[in-house]
Structure 1
Amino acid sequence: MQTSSTNIYERLCNKSIHEISLLLNIPRSTVSGIITKLKQLGTTATQPPRGRPRKMTERGQHMLKRTLRRSRQLSAESIAKDLQTLCCLQISTVHRELHGMGFHGQAAASKPYITKCNAKRQM
């Protein structure tokens, strides 16, 4: 059984890379890469992802967001302890996960205490 990419390669093998790229309207470097991959591996299928799988699941990320939204002033260490007790996740990279989700440690804006009297003076 042959894949569609090998069929295309067999049909277009007598044409140059430049001609194939013009026919398919894709860059020459892409065509060259596909042909090289076909020759070396025999297929254009992608290889499995490399590296260590993520420890934090989507459920764990949801729990992390909920914990953070409940109390914004918790430290990363206390959040890690909460996650460990709530959903049995022992994660040391809470800070990295929070950055990945878009939460960054920022100091609260200082707001002056405005009384009714001060508000009248400012007007």
Structure 2
Amino acid sequence: MQTASTNICERLCNKSIHEIHLLLNIPRSIVSGIITKWKQLGTTAIQPRSGRPRKMTERGQRMLKRIVCRSRQLSAKSIAKDLQALCGLQISKTTVRRELHGMGFRG
């Protein structure tokens, strides 16, 4: 079974975007995007994401929020130590501050 992107690329030589859209019953914007990607990269495969993966997982964020809500007077350094002891997540105090700021905690 062929995917829509393969079909679009195969039919690219003889058909317009509008004709492909009508043939495959796919929105024109998707057809156009696939054709543009094909022309730029020579493939329609998903490219690897850019940037470094996040250190904090969703579970780590929940643990962080629980620690902070329990005691609001803790320093970022002590929160980082607590996270390491509780779930083995080794992060810096700067990361703790950044994550808390993203969650809406200030100060």
Q: Do the structures match in fold with TM over 0.5?
A: yes
Aligned residues: 102
1:6–1:43 contact (8 Å) kept in structure 2: no
- Tell me the secondary structure at the aligned position of residue 15 of structure 2: coil
1:60 equivalent in structure 2 = 60
* Map 1:1-40 → 2, pairs under 5 A: 2-17=2-17, 19-20=18-19, 23=22, 24-27=26-29, 31=32, 33-40=33-40
Identity of aligned residues (%): 71
2:105 equivalent in structure 1 = 104
Equivalents in 2 of 1:67, 1:21: separation in Å? 55
Aligned-CA RMSD value: 2.9
TM-score for both structures, normalised by structure 1: 0.62
2:34–2:44 contact (8 Å) kept in structure 1: yes
TM-score for both structures, normalised by structure 2: 0.69
Equivalents in 1 of 2:36, 2:5: separation in Å? 12
State the Cα distance separating 1:95 from its structure 2 match. 0.8
Q: Which has the higher contact order (CA 8 A, sep 6+)?
A: 2
* Bigger radius of gyration: 1
Equivalents in 2 of 1:70, 1:90: separation in Å? 20
Unaligned 5+ segments in structure 2 are none
Equivalents in 2 of 1:11, 1:86: separation in Å? 56
- Tell me the secondary structure at the aligned position of residue 97 of structure 2: helix
1:45 equivalent in structure 2 = 45
Q: Which moved more, 1:41-50 or 1:90-99?
A: 41-50
Equivalents in 2 of 1:21, 1:72: separation in Å? 59
State the Cα distance separating 1:25 from its structure 2 match. 4.2
Unaligned 5+ segments in structure 1 are 107-123
2:67–2:79 contact (8 Å) kept in structure 1: yes
